[in-house]
Chains A and B, each alone.
Chain A
């Protein structure tokens, strides 16, 4: 169950390039989806991603500013904040840290079908066999792996 998820080329490339640009840092950012898709349900296309941080992660003030700004910008283009992505500095680390989980939970409060994308650094390379993403979607109050 749950909505089908499609991540646009643009959103995907920006996420991967963001993590490639800062290979030795943790990175995170936000995902935007069309408001109409989110209201209708069924299939949600994440059309864009907004890279946020690669330094000083885990601190709230700039995050709050970023969330407010992105939300306001997105509204203008009929998009909504519907997910976050993150990657760890350690190549083998795929766990969802508390900070990212909190952000995702907060997003899910406003947008029930939010997703939490973890970029699996091990799978990133010049010839990738899979998308390299681990996606959790918020369904019925819990985060389920897609």
Chain B
């Protein structure tokens, strides 16, 4: 249970969560029940945004009571012809899994406003919830042709493709993300992982480059370090490999980095001799020179 907080504090927290787009639905409902519900009229300018936020939290945590309370006030204020309210009405159908009705309302919104991105996204979410991943993927692709800079959408599409094991397409999405965020080590690491999963010497080479870049940007990225270790070991143990020594050097370096990290975290030297590393090094059959 949360401690009793003042209304101002609660308003600030909710504002932060709105701006960060955090998904803290449980906490929002708690705040609603502890603080906000009694003091709705003191919310000032943020009243309607907060009500919308609580309503969505109600959808997420399946609280039809909270949804009814908040949606009622919003409908009274803005009437059902408001597109934002319509979207919430569609989401209420979604909550009840009445997909047909939800899609109808969303189509109505799109008739009025073709460029309404949130309605399109809700449709994609519905297809995903119904388990129709291929439809979700195709709708998402259509969406991205128009809204090319929507990074969350690219991420979502990347996840869908990985799930469907369409790794080439997943790479493409991840590369788009990289174009938007060239300095984000996580995307480099992600691409490295996808390439590694695809397998084959070319992909492994590619993966190695991405992992190296990730490590360069963020030396503490453990996944990238392990990725580098695995990729180079696989490349080095390939019978057709010509650059065995180079790969071995990288493996050795990466393993030292990883051990150092574990050391820093408090493990003894003995514990830091990680089985992964030992296993891989023995595969290489090189002393690390």
Contact = CB atoms under 8 A, between A and B. Distances in A.
A125 to B, nearest CB: 11
B162 A59 contact: yes
29 contacts: A24-B23, A56-B190, A56-B193, A57-B163, A58-B163, A58-B197, A59-B193, A59-B196, A59-B197, A60-B197, A61-B223, A61-B226, A61-B230, A62-B193, A62-B226, A62-B227, A64-B230, A65-B226, A68-B279, A71-B275, A72-B275, A72-B276, A73-B275, A90-B129, A90-B131, A92-B131, A93-B131, A97-B163, A98-B165
Contact of B276 (A56, A69, A90): A69
Given A64-B230, A90-B131, A93-B131, A58 B165 contact: yes
Interface of B: 23, 128-129, 131, 162-163, 165, 190, 192-194, 196-197, 223, 226-227, 230-231, 274-276, 279
Interface of B is mostly: helix
Interface residues of A, number: 21
Contacts of B223: 61-62
A68 B193 contact: no
Contact of B230 (A65, A71, A98): A65
Contacts of A72: 275-276
B17 to A, nearest CB: 16
Contacts of B131: 90, 92-93
A93 B132 CA distance: 11
A61 B162 CA distance: 14
